[in-house]
Amino acid sequence: MNNLIQLLPDAIANQIAAGEVVQRPASALKELLENAVDAGATKIQVVLKDAGKQLIQVIDNGRGMSPTDARMSFERHATSKIKESKDLFSIRTFGFRGEALASIAAVAQVELKTKTADEELGTYICIEGSEVKKQEPVAAQNGTSVSMKNLFFNVPARRNFLKSNPVEMRHLVDEFQRVALSYPEIAFTLMQNDMEMYSLLPGKLSQRITGIFGKNYQDKLIPADEETPHLMVKGYIGKPESAKKTRGEQFFFVNNRYIKSSYLHHAVSTAFEGLIQPDQHPFYVLFLEIDPSHIDINVHPTKTEIKFDDERTVYAVIRTCIKQALGAHHVVPSLDFTV
Ligand code: ADP
Ligand code: MG
């Protein structure tokens, strides 16, 4: 009998994995930004061309990589962030799957320039469709620059699936805002087609919020804080008058990782009951700190969904926190409002 099964070549395996990790320019940007944060950068610059379809470049001043690490970083399941399976339960970095660079390099033309502080020269690597075209020493700043060009150049079907520039830009800006909000102490810039869209100085969370959403948010923010033995909540909610019918200004971060949760969104919305119209959404930027052993972030490759051991308690704590914040600022349902 003939045996039919064979292992897939790396380039194909990477391309398949890329389907999950890189759906569109924004997902690649998210991965590159997270790598820059994980590298301890204090300054991160993003350069986009053609809504990321031509170019996404992320330049950081983080710890950089040695020549060997630089090459290894493009291997699948190669990571410096976890070593053994128990580490999965105490993840503090964004990354841990070791899939992002391998996936990006499988479906784009990638140029990496990186240098550690204790090396004289840095490393340049050019890789296209998982194939290393060039690796050589190069003069470089400390830190890392990754340029991703012509996303899906070798997967025409996917390239054709990309949406119009405004739509892709919206997704890119969403990802940028999420990372920038969760790290107000890091300076960020974003350029699109040579125009500066954001230039965010390091500062406090409230300054980051106004830097992103505009100065008029300055006196619309109410601080929210709550601490229980297992959970800490802090951040800002918007005064009821800043609620909008459109969504997009609601942010939950768990241990600094942006997450989507309609369940927790509901906890905030109900705390606003009677203060905003039922079809409006309150503004909020809320950070939850929770022992990593009580959550599972390994649910989805893009990691925007997580599982809590005890979702109900988290819900209750958030709701109480928001109610108290509103109460402390004398924002309580008024009779006038309901007529
Ligand atoms: P992960 O982030 O899950 O480890 P990636 O494929 O995103 O996987 O990156 C692989 C490895 O490459 C990382 O673990 C890290 O050691 C290194 N790396 C990637 N980007 C950077 C960067 N900007 N600065 C320093 N090291 C980086
Ligand atoms: Mg990563």
Helix (H) / strand (E) containing 131: strand 131-138
Considering the chain, what is the average pLDDT of its residues?
91
CA–CA distance, 318 with 269 (Å, rounded to integer): 10
Determine the distance separating the centroid of ligand 1 and the alpha carbon of 10, expressed in angstroms.
19
* Burial profile 48-59: b = 16 or more Cβ within 10 angstroms, e = fewer: bbebbbebbbbb
Our answer on whether the CB atom of 45 is closer than 6 Å to any ligand 1 atom is no
Determine the distance separating the centroid of ligand 2 and the alpha carbon of 77, expressed in angstroms.
10
Single out the residue of 220, 316, 314 nearest to residue 259, CA to CA: 314
Going by CA atoms, what residue is nearest to atom 10 of ligand 1? 73
* C-beta separation of 338 from 274 below 8 A: yes
Check residues 187 and 79 and name the one with the higher pLDDT.
Answer: 187
**pLDDT class of 127 with cuts at 50, 70, 90:** very high
Helix (H) / strand (E) containing 167: helix 165-182
pLDDT, residue 339, reads 37
Query: Per-residue pLDDT tens for 42-69?
Result: 999 999 999 999 999 999 999 999 999 9
CA–CA distance, 27 with 49 (Å, rounded to integer): 15
Pocket probe for ligand 1: among 22, 27, 38, 110, the residue whose CB has the most ligand atoms within 8 Å is: 38
Lowest mean pLDDT among 77-81, 148-152, 177-181, 232-236: 77-81
Query: Per-residue pLDDT tens for 131-169?
Result: 999 999 999 999 999 999 999 999 998 899 999 999 999
CB atoms closer than 10 angstroms to residue 90: 10
- Spell out the residues 6+ positions from residue 173 whose beta carbon is closer than 8 angstroms to its own: 190, 197
CA–CA distance, 189 with 66 (Å, rounded to integer): 26
- Helices 25-38 & 165-182, crossing angle to 10 degrees? 20
- Structure-block tokens of residue 217: 């948010």
CA–CA distance, 239 with 220 (Å, rounded to integer): 5
- Structure-block tokens of residue 194: 């040579």
Question: Helix or strand or coil: residue 217?
Answer: helix
Determine the distance separating the centroid of ligand 1 and the alpha carbon of 95, expressed in angstroms.
7
Lowest mean pLDDT among 182-196, 224-238, 289-303: 289-303
ipTM above 0.95, yes or no: yes
* C-beta separation of 238 from 220 below 8 A: yes
- pTM (global) more than 0.90: yes
Going by CA atoms, what residue is nearest to atom 17 of ligand 1? 73
* C-beta separation of 158 from 176 below 8 A: no
Domains of the chain, CATH where assigned: 10-200 (3.30.565.10), 215-333 (3.30.230.10)
**pLDDT class of 301 with cuts at 50, 70, 90:** low
What are the C-alpha distances in Å from 141 to residues 7, 113, 182, 187, 291?
40, 9, 26, 17, 36
CA–CA distance, 273 with 266 (Å, rounded to integer): 10
- Structure-block tokens of residue 319: 């709701």
Our answer on whether the CB atom of 60 is closer than 6 Å to any ligand 1 atom is yes
Lowest mean pLDDT among 34-48, 110-124, 189-203, 317-331: 317-331
* C-beta separation of 316 from 288 below 8 A: no
User: If 0-12 CB within 10 Å is exposed, 13-18 middle and 19+ buried, where does residue 61 land?
Assistant: buried
Our answer on whether the CB atom of 73 is closer than 6 Å to any ligand 1 atom is yes
Closest ligand 1 atom to the C-alpha of 102?
Answer: 6
Q: Look up residue 272 and give its amino acid.
A: F
Query: Per-residue pLDDT tens for 207-221?
Result: 999 999 999 999 999
Query: Per-residue pLDDT tens for 306-319?
Result: 888 889 999 999 99
Lowest mean pLDDT among 66-75, 78-87, 136-145, 185-194: 78-87
**pLDDT class of 74 with cuts at 50, 70, 90:** very high
